[in-house]
Structure 1
Amino acid sequence: MALLLGLGIGAESVWAADPVAIVDALKTNAGNPKGARASFAKGQCVRGNYTPSTDAASVTKSASFTKPGMVLARFSVGGGNPKVLDTNKAVLRGFSMKLGEGKNSTDILFENAPVHFAKSTDQMLGFLKARAPGPDGKPDADKVKAFSAENPETLNQAHFVASKPMPGSFAGVTYWGVHAFPATNSKGQKRFIKFKVVPVDGDVNLTEEEAKTKPEDFLFQDIKARLAAGGIKLQVLALLDQPGDPTMDVTVRWPDEDNRPAVALGTVTITALSENQPCDDSIFVPGNLAAGIGEPPDEIFAARKAAYPVSLARRKSE
């Protein structure tokens, strides 16, 4: 805690890393835009359907993944600024979806990085506090550097995003669920899985020169064009655990994660734009998981589950 105190982050803040404090910090860093999500504020609601694979039941008995169903989803750009430029490579791209309806529905949140930027709520709040804007509207570079030096794993996400090309389409991005979900299959067997979503038609990337020619909302224009041309297909995969995999720390990947066995659970086909109201009037609830998929055991998942309703209530009251 000494380092955080040295950064001007008081003990009362560090140990008050509750959902309200985290949402407040996210909003502060984004400039407190009214009526906006605390994170992934810029987005577009879409609709479609899900078709399961014949192998889905070998991983989970969840009706969300083993039965055909309707899909409500949202493509988004990371951060709490609803006016963030689509050409900002440093921010995440997001994909949230609700599969199925009623008791058979499941909400999963994805982003174009396989790790989160903090492994605990205290670390998450410290990360955000270190990057809080000063009187000039910019974070204190020395505070950021000091916090990063003490918490190097908080840079894993940024380093991953920086190592990849600029995404050229929401439909051409690989997304990860980040958390390790306990899954129970049709035979009652249990294991941890990680969700991954891959574009059926392959990744779409831009060079730096190509990115410079794009308008500030080119990702959202691209969605409309692709849907008008026939739709967007994304394959949902389950990465299978192995003994010793870290299931509590979302800042690190599973060993050799990109080369281990994965099971195709099914295909999401996005067929139409939706008014944003269905996505904005509620939230994709991290804890909404149909039987057969359990809640991840890590601290960040619990924090998300608690913080999302706080963010919803705050933007509805603004």
Structure 2
Amino acid sequence: MSMIKTALSGVAAALLSAATVAPVAAEQPVQANDFIKLFEQLSGKQPGVRKAHARGLCASGSFVPNPSEYFIDAPLLTQGELPVTMRFSIGGGNPAADERAPGTRGMGMQITLADGSRHIFTGNNFPVFAGKDPQTFFGLISTFLPDEQGQRDPKRTMEYAEKHPSVKANLAWQQSAGTAASYANTAFFGLHTFFYNKDDAEQTKFRWKLIPELGEKTLSEEETQNMDADFLADRMKRQLAEGEVSFRLVAAIGQPGDSNTDPSVQWPEDREQVELGRVQLSGAGGEQCTPINFDPNVLSAGFKPSDDPVLRMRSAAYAISFGKRLSGQ
């Protein structure tokens, strides 16, 4: 029971003002707009903001690539230093989410190449997704909806997890997750499988991770008690003033038996790790992220997404959220 209560605060972080509706069974097909509606039911109508990861901090910097034999002639890695726009965020659709709460943190990063093309990386601080496919994930978050009396029932989530084991690894992570001490001290996982194949070269299968060079750090419940609910922006700006804030972009090279399509399953830890480059931030704050849709399927030349159904669903859901946000809905 404690695992599910903690998971509720993580997976459904800051999902307040929820409407009372009946959940949709995971076995039913779901569309991107179903997710948008569900997020709005969980977090209430929040016009003009992102429907997920609503509270965030924009940052800017540069990407210095590290060419690799696995990614020969990739423009992303052969054009020298490139500009970066990043957005760090809190899970959930509440733009006033309490940053002292443990659980989900997100990251979107846009690297702009010399020809104006873009490569977008979108990740979270958990290493596995909460479900093997969109239907399973939708069913899980539907269990967070309140009943007719306005009460959430953790037992429903427990029962759902027993019937849908692909959600268990993420729920277990949520149980142990602390509060991020800073976005600069948080690692982010791409979760999905991608491929690189330039010309006639051998195809490379990989999953990426962004590793903070300041080290990973979380806060205990006691440490958060005297902190402000919006401490993350100030902490990032202070760290930038004190020195470098940087990350290493690393690719785990997949083997034939590693899953291409299931983001709820981690690859073995012994997979070869290849450094793709270094991201260094120069500033934080501002609205430069506002016109950006951080769609993880926007890739530079030579790269392509896998057939992961969760990854495919993200493009459509992000596009709907983007349109609603820019139109003030």
Could you state the TM-score of these two structures normalised by the residue count of structure 2?
0.86
**Does 2:177 correspond to 1:167?**
no
2:185 and 2:51 map into 1 onto residues whose CA distance is 25
Q: Is the 8 A contact 1:85 1:217 kept in 2?
A: yes
Which of 271, 277, 301 aligns to 1:266? It is 277
Q: 1:261 to 1:186 in 2, by over 3 A?
A: farther
Partner SS, residue 294 of structure 1: strand
> 5+ residue gaps in structure 2?
1-20
Partner SS, residue 208 of structure 2: strand
Deviation at 1:186, TM superposition (A): 8.0
**Does 2:122 correspond to 1:109?**
yes
Aligned twin of 1:280: 290
Pairing 1:289-300 to 2, within 5 Å after superposition: 289-300=299-310
Q: Is the 8 A contact 1:107 1:287 kept in 2?
A: yes
Pairing 1:12-161 to 2, within 5 Å after superposition: 15-55=28-68, 58-59=70-71, 61-67=73-79, 68-90=81-103, 92-101=104-113, 103-161=116-174
Deviation at 1:316, TM superposition (A): 2.7
1:103 and 1:287 map into 2 onto residues whose CA distance is 16
**Does 2:250 correspond to 1:240?**
no
Partner SS, residue 279 of structure 1: coil
Structure having the larger proportion of residues in helix: 1
2:294 and 2:65 map into 1 onto residues whose CA distance is 21
How many residue pairs are counted as aligned between the two chains? 306
Q: Which sits farther off after the overlay, 147-156 or 76-85?
A: 147-156
Deviation at 1:167, TM superposition (A): 1.9
Q: Deviations over 1:278-308 (max 9, x none)?
A: 3122311222101121112110000001110
Deviation at 1:260, TM superposition (A): 2.5
Q: Is the 8 A contact 1:60 1:186 kept in 2?
A: no
- Which amino acid letter does the alignment assign opposite residue 298 of structure 2? N
Partner SS, residue 85 of structure 1: coil
1:159 and 1:35 map into 2 onto residues whose CA distance is 33
Q: Is the 8 A contact 1:231 1:269 kept in 2?
A: yes
- Which amino acid letter does the alignment assign opposite residue 207 of structure 1? S
Q: Is the 8 A contact 1:63 1:104 kept in 2?
A: no
- Which amino acid letter does the alignment assign opposite residue 65 of structure 1? L
1:143 and 1:249 map into 2 onto residues whose CA distance is 24
Query: Runs of 4 or more off by more than 6 Å in structure 1?
Result: none
Q: Is the 8 A contact 1:38 1:80 kept in 2?
A: yes
Deviation at 1:274, TM superposition (A): 4.0
Q: 1:194 to 1:208 in 2, by over 3 A?
A: same
Q: 1:16 to 1:288 in 2, by over 3 A?
A: same
Deviation at 1:14, TM superposition (A): 5.3
2:275 and 2:189 map into 1 onto residues whose CA distance is 14
Deviation at 1:231, TM superposition (A): 3.7
CA RMSD for the aligned pairs?
2.2
Partner SS, residue 126 of structure 1: helix
Q: Is the 8 A contact 2:24 2:139 kept in 1?
A: no
> 5+ residue gaps in structure 1?
1-6
Q: Is the 8 A contact 2:52 2:93 kept in 1?
A: yes
